[in-house]
Amino acid sequence: MYNQLIKICPNTLEKVSFRSLTTFKIGGIARYVCYPSSVDELTNLVMFCKEQKIDTFVLGGGSNILADDTGFLGVVICTKRLNEIALLSPCRVRAQAGAMMSALAHFCKTHGLSGAENLCGIPGTIGGAIVMNAGAFGGEIAKIVESVTYFENGKVETKKKSQLFFDYRKSIFTNRPNCVILSVVLRLKKSTPEFVQENLLRFITQRQASQNVGMPSAGSIFKKVNHESAAVYIQNCGLKGAKLGDAMVSNEHAGFIINTGRATSKQVLSLIEKIKQEVKLKYGVELEVEIVVL
């Protein structure tokens, strides 16, 4: 199948460890990893895999993923090469799905556009941010979305923000594996590079002070509960520093599980269950996992 894949997408690799593909640095081997460099390559890959009944997984920055130790026998489609960002009008920006959030922040600063500063520290791609309606410091990406273009069932479609049903850490694209985001149009506010830079520095400083865990992680493991960070419940259960193998609840931020060496997905999942049980026992609260388990 490798020869067929490289005909569609020349940038295709075999047997790649998920430790190199995710920020958690956990997981087994991905049988094939494709890096399409055009929308045609991406859509042709998706159609080929669908026709051949091959499992696919679309990966952006890998910042919200826990990959299984057993690996993935299908095709991982990584969008990182689809990373163009362009100015459509004085306050509108189009970004391809594989553009990093940090690149968007820099682009907005250069053009004096405000509205995305609070998202600057999210270590993922714009496509991934749309799927889960990523947010930080009280703001979500939904706030600045105008429309999203995606590929599904052989068709390219565009939906306006009102059709995307954004909610806390979810959108119309959540749990919709056959749908691949291609690009996003964002509407921002005209400002100055100096004002945007000042905001960026403020949010970066806040993030470093509260979330600099110093080890590989997948970010916040759990969603908020009753508008309260899951970290509060976890910390109050005395679980900071709790460890299973090389998987550990961060001492800096109780909402993070960190990989202190060669942590396995089994260790992380067991630690997640331990946290959920103890929080449920003490507070009667059901924690819901935010990360994607592959």
Task: Select from 3.40.50.2300, 3.90.78.10, 3.40.50.620, 3.90.1150.10 the CATH code of 212-293.
Answer: 3.90.78.10
User: How is domain 85-207 classified at the architecture level of CATH?
Assistant: 2-Layer Sandwich (3.30)
Q: Where are the domains of the chain?
A: 2-78, 85-207, 212-293
Is 220 annotated in the active site? yes
In 3D, which of 196, 154, 201, 213 has the Cα closest to residue 179?
A: 154
pLDDT band for position 213 (cuts 50, 70, 90): low
Residue 66 has pLDDT above 70, yes or no: yes
Q: Using one digit for the tens of pLDDT, what is the confidence trace for 6-24?
A: 999 999 999 999 999 999 9
Give bridge partners of residue 136 from the DSSP assignment: 139
Class of residue 52 by CB neighbours under 10 A (exposed 0-12, middle 13-18, buried 19+): exposed
What distance in Å separates the CA atoms of residue 194 and residue 92, rounded to the nearest whole number? 19
In 3D, which of 150, 157, 143, 122 has the Cα closest to residue 187?
A: 143
CATH class of the domain at 2-78: alpha beta
Residue in 171, 183, 191, 220 annotated catalytic: 220
Residue in 63, 140, 169, 171 annotated catalytic: 169
Q: Using one digit for the tens of pLDDT, what is the confidence trace for 257-292?
A: 999 999 999 999 999 999 999 999 999 999 999 999
Task: Please give the DSSP secondary-structure letter assigned to residue 115.
Answer: S
Is 147 annotated in the active site? no
What distance in Å separates the CA atoms of residue 31 and residue 33, rounded to the nearest whole number? 7
In 3D, which of 288, 266, 286 has the Cα closest to residue 278?
A: 286
Q: Using one digit for the tens of pLDDT, what is the confidence trace for 129-165?
A: 999 998 777 778 999 999 999 999 999 999 999 999 9
Is 191 annotated in the active site? no
Task: Please give the DSSP secondary-structure letter assigned to residue 148.
Answer: E
